[in-house]
Homo-oligomer: A and B are copies of this chain.
Amino acid sequence: MAFDLKRRLAAEALGTAILVATVVGSGIMADRLSDDVAVSLLGNTIPTGAILVVLISILGPISGAHFNPGVTLVFAARREIETSAAALYVIAQAAGGIAGTLVAHAMFDLHLFQVSETVRTGTGQWIAEAVATFGLVFTILAGLRFREDAIPWLVGLYITAAYWFTASTSFANPAVAIARAFSNTFSGIRPMDVPAFIVAEVLGALVATAVAAWMLAKRPSTSAITLKGAE
């Protein structure tokens, strides 16, 4: 790794800030402009997927572009990042995420400091968060194995899909969940609902790590993607 820890932490903070500013900002914009909630969700989804491709492409070479404590935890469990660096990553992500919320509020002339009142709780929501994070982590781990240079696209497209197929619109990220608790807008979440989201996300991440460890544990296959069920 050519970049020192200071720059890596700055990249994690900046990336998470822009990611959250996109989620919160596009949510505000979309909600203001439409009465059709599905149209608003499209206006929230497309920017989020797009910015993920950009951020992972340009910051991945510096910090790995986690932007997500769940992802950092997975790499720590796989001993691919030191525990001390991982802890600092998580702090940078949380701080960057909250900064992203503040920037979004400033741009839209809203009070900088807010607390969300949006209820997001219940079994369905928790299953959704576990499923969403399972899919995200499995995508990253299998992507690293087979198509490393496509990972920015794979993550951006995965989240684009997960916004819609999970009942929770796929937070799938503890730092983003915390940051969204500070915004009483379209993409907010009540602070008291955050802990259960984080528990579900961590569980989903750990299950994905285990499944990937089993399913990918093999001699390297040919790197070519194929639809053929070759013998």
A225 x B56 contact (CB < 8 A): yes
B226 x A64 contact (CB < 8 A): yes
Q: Which residues of A contact B (CB under 8 A)?
A: 1-4, 7-8, 10-11, 14, 18, 21-26, 29-30, 33-51, 53-54, 56-66, 71-72, 75, 80-82, 85-86, 89, 103-104, 106-109, 122-124, 127-128, 131, 135, 138-140, 142-158, 160-168, 211, 214-216, 218-231
Specify which of B34, B161, B224 is in contact with A37 (CB 8 Å cutoff).
Answer: B34
* Chain A to chain B: the 7 pairs with minimum beta-carbon distance, closest first: A25-B165, A34-B38, A81-B229, A2-B221, A58-B142, A33-B38, A26-B164
16 A-B pairs (CB sep. < 8 Å): A2-B220, A8-B229, A10-B215, A29-B167, A38-B40, A39-B42, A49-B50, A50-B158, A54-B139, A60-B227, A64-B226, A65-B225, A72-B229, A107-B166, A144-B228, A149-B224
A124 x B147 contact (CB < 8 A): no
Cα distance A57–B139 when bound, in Å? 9
Q: Which residue of B lies closest to A20 (CB)?
A: B165
User: Which residues in B have their C-beta under 8 angstroms from that of A60?
Assistant: 146, 225-227
Taking A33-B38, A57-B147 as known contacts, 6 extra A-B pairs with beta carbons closer than 8 A to each other, sorted by chain A number, are A30-B164, A34-B38, A42-B42, A58-B143, A62-B221, A80-B230
Cα distance A24–B63 when bound, in Å? 36
A135 x B165 contact (CB < 8 A): no
B53 x A153 contact (CB < 8 A): yes
